[in-house]
């Protein structure tokens, strides 16, 4: 934002156009050469989330808590259940990473209260726009820029839905002359991926160095840092955590970077800062890392099986009985979250807990398509 005097040669639209991230990146690359993909994704998403509320029908994408209250309610139920079986320890903190509109927290906290679980509420959020929306939904929350300021005493009940996928990934590519970082260049008015000039072989595990030319290895240092911090806290403070995202349970190769705008997939190299950039979460790696730091891994399972195991069908029916005019809508929304050809299998739920904490409900759910009643 500028508070200076306007010069006659510029007007508002031209100014804002020059400030568009695509223009800034283009100038940067033209002057200094390609930037790393990690910088591209990190800055693009920081700009994207700080300038809008991207969620919902009028936005770019919709998330599970915005589809149905059942999602947040069953998360609240899961947290209350594990907390009760852990012996109701207190004072307890509900911590949510990237809470979006605060809808998940609102639904989860309402459900937890029915079981006399009334935790302190902490939101880790970087977007000022979304903070305002969250304040209206959950006025009692305390906001943090990262996990470091969340209290270090008392167990944490942590939830992160579609948070890790927004953190920037780093990619290495095998070229004819060895491993290079994958960068973003600018050529003929377009952004495009290019191989960097510095050798990166030392960053690749020895057993993978001889992979065929063109192989891409993707990692997410930000997600790894979050996972380490959460695991360490679970080990020291106790508690439980749920990470829900689209991702792979098995190790994967290749770029998973993708972009969404107005509910459509678009080219991730078009219009940085104006589209939502995501990458798949490597759940296998996350689970290993959490265990190495002393947390218990409770399981990683498809979202559909997990929700059904917690009674999603019964809850949809109960809501339909309370408001019969919406019964079909409740069922359709529940199916959208659970059906294997919708969000049920692509999205995974990973549960973690402190070493002294019990198993989590629904991680050994029925096979896909089987009614859990
Ligand atoms: N969990 C919400 C929103 C998902 S969108 C839901 O399910 O609806 C991703 C959320 O993470 C947004 O709230 C976004 O502002 C936040 N976010 C993205 N990158 C972040 C970062 N580096 N630090 C803190 N919050 C971040």
Strand bridging mode 120-124 / 142-144: parallel
SS3 38: helix
Residue nearest to atom 6 of ligand 1 (CA): 100
160, 244 contact by CB (below 8 A): yes
Ramachandran angles phi, psi of 309, nearest 5°: -60, -25
125: Cβ below 6 Å to ligand 1?
yes
CATH number given to 1-373: 3.40.50.12710
Q: In this predicted structure, what is the pLDDT of residue 251? A: 66
Q: In this predicted structure, what is the pLDDT of residue 303? A: 97
Give the model's confidence band at 133: pLDDT under 50 very low, under 70 low, under 90 confident, else very high. Answer: very high
pLDDT at 11 over 70: no
Q: What is the mean pLDDT of the chain?
A: 92
What is the total residue count of the chain? 373
SS3 354: coil
pLDDT digits (tens, 9 = 90+) for 158-186: 999 999 999 999 999 999 999 999 999 99
Residue nearest to atom 23 of ligand 1 (CA): 126
The angle subtended at Cα 169 by Cα 269 and Cα 346, nearest 5°, is: 90
55 CA distance to ligand 1 centroid (A)?
10
Nearest to 195, CA basis, from 215, 220, 173: 173
Q: For 228-295, list the strands marked E by DSSP.
A: 239-248, 258-261, 264-266, 276-278, 281-282
164: Cβ below 6 Å to ligand 1?
no
171: Cβ below 6 Å to ligand 1?
no
CA–CA dist 216, 252 (Å, integer): 10
104: Cβ below 6 Å to ligand 1?
yes
The mean pLDDT value for 249-271 works out to 90
Domain map (residue ranges) of the chain = 1-373
Burial of 243 from C-beta contacts in 10 A (0-12 / 13-18 / 19+): buried
97 CA distance to ligand 1 centroid (A)?
7
CA–CA dist 99, 50 (Å, integer): 14
First to last CA, the chain: 56
DSSP code, position 9: T
38, 168 contact by CB (below 8 A): yes
Which of 126, 134, 169, when mutated, tests ligand 1's pocket best, judged by the most ligand atoms within 8 Å of its CB?
A: 126
Give the model's confidence band at 220: pLDDT under 50 very low, under 70 low, under 90 confident, else very high. Answer: very high
Q: In this predicted structure, what is the pLDDT of residue 335? A: 98
131 CA distance to ligand 1 centroid (A)?
10
CA–CA dist 70, 303 (Å, integer): 12
Residue nearest to atom 3 of ligand 1 (CA): 100
pLDDT digits (tens, 9 = 90+) for 318-360: 999 999 999 999 999 999 999 999 999 999 999 999 999 999 9
């Amino acid at each position: 934002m500028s508070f200076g005097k306007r010069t006659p040669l510029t007007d508002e639209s031209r100014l804002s156009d020059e400030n568009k991230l695509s223009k800034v990146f283009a100038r940067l690359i033209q002057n200094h050469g390609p930037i790393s993909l990690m910088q591209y994704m990190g800055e693009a998403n920081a700009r994207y989330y700080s300038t809008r509320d991207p969620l919902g029908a009028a936005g770019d994408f919709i998330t599970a808590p915005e589809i149905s209250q059942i999602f947040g309610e069953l998360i609240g139920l899961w947290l209350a259940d594990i907390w009760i079986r852990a012996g109701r320890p207190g004072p307890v903190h509900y911590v949510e990473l990237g809470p979006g509109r605060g809808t998940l927290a609102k639904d989860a906290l309402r459900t937890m209260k029915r079981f006399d679980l009334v935790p302190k509420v902490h939101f880790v959020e970087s977007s000022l726009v979304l903070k305002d929306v969250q304040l209206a939904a959950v006025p009692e929350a305390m906001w943090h820029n990262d996990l470091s300021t969340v209290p270090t005493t008392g167990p944490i009940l942590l939830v992160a839905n579609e948070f890790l996928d927004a953190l920037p990934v780093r990619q290495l590519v095998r070229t004819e002359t060895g491993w290079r970082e994958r960068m973003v260049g600018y050529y003929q008015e377009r952004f495009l991926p290019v191989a960097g000039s510095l050798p990166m072989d030392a960053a690749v595990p020895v057993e993978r160095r001889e992979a065929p030319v063109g192989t891409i290895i993707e990692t997410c240092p930000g997600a790894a840092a979050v996972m380490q911090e959460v695991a360490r806290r679970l080990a020291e403070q106790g508690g439980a955590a749920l990470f829900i995202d689209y991702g792979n349970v098995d190790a994967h190769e290749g770029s998973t970077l993708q972009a969404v705008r107005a509910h459509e997939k678009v080219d991730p190299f078009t219009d940085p800062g104006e589209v939502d950039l995501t990458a798949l979460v490597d759940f296998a790696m996350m689970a290993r890392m959490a265990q190495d730091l002393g947390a218990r891994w409770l399981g990683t399972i498809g979202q559909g099986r997990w929700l059904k195991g917690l009674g999603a069908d019964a809850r949809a029916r109960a809501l339909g009985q309370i408001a019969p005019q919406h019964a079909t809508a409740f069922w359709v929304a529940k199916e959208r979250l659970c059906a294997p050809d919708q969000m049920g299998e692509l999205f995974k739920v990973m549960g973690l807990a402190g070493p002294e904490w019990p198993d989590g409900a629904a991680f050994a759910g029925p096979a896909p398509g089987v009614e859990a009643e």
